[in-house]
Amino acid sequence: MELAVKVLCKAHLSAKFKGDLRPVFEEQRAMRITHGRKGFLPLHASWHDSDYLYLATEYYPNGDLMKEMRQWRKIPSSHARFYAAEILLALDALHKLGIIHRDIKPQNLLFDREGHLSLADFGLARVFDKPECESTDFPVQSLGTPHSSKLPHGFTNTGCGTLSYMAPEAHQHKPYSFSVDFWSLGVLLYEMLTGRLPYGDSKQSKGIPGAVISDELTFQEFDRVNDVTQDFLRSVMAKDPNARLTVAEMKAHPYFETM
């Protein structure tokens, strides 16, 4: 088995996180929790010295989803549906483990040796302790802005991620939960099908937050995205987190009927 080693500089990360190295070890924690589960990049070892933290993962030689998107420009609709289904299942499993990824994008989805997608790079992940209850599900929708300063379990308000893929509530630093990952899935599916991002790319970074918060999701005639797919995307990418589809509703949506 070939391994890839990710090397994290403690000094750089300390400056980035203002002396707080907890996010660094949060990545390690998330990868330990997901180890051995289908749909996630396996972590085989981790260690650190005075200057660096090392994460040894399985090496996937087939590249990432971004490479695939660049080759096609527009991913064929059947392929895009398959990839979206794999990402949805991985996110469902991840959330049931109490983890929000917070940086779903093509570069963080790797193809394993069988051609299936695996979720990677948990550098911005938020890991919650599991509550003592029978349910394995965590909230995927917003419960609204809490009146107290203490956020409900499963919620955070740290604004982080890649601008073009961040949900409106994350841009606004409002309390958010697992639903932000599904918004990112919607952005990713839109990008696969149309060859562009719905609210601009890094070259227009100054206008992205405002567009994500305020602009409607639009399609061009030449996109050739059918009504069922448009309905799925609009439902997953509703501005109001409470209006977004639940996991069960996404799985039951006609978009996935042929799978």
Which are the catalytic amino acids? 103
* φ and ψ of 184, to 5 deg: -60, -35
Say if CB 106 and CB 65 are below 8 A apart.
yes
38's tokens: 């289908």
Distance CA 204, CA 104 (A): 19
DSSP, collapsed to helix, strand or coil, labels residue 143 as: coil
Strand blocks (E) in 67-215: 99-100, 109-111, 117-119, 126-127
Burial grade of 180 (CB within 10 A; 0-12, 13-18, 19 or more)? buried
Residues 6+ apart with CB under 8 A from 222: none
Residues 6+ apart with CB under 8 A from 128: 98, 99, 100, 138, 153, 154
CA atoms within 13 A on the CB side of 214: 5
CA atoms within 13 A on the CB side of 132: 0
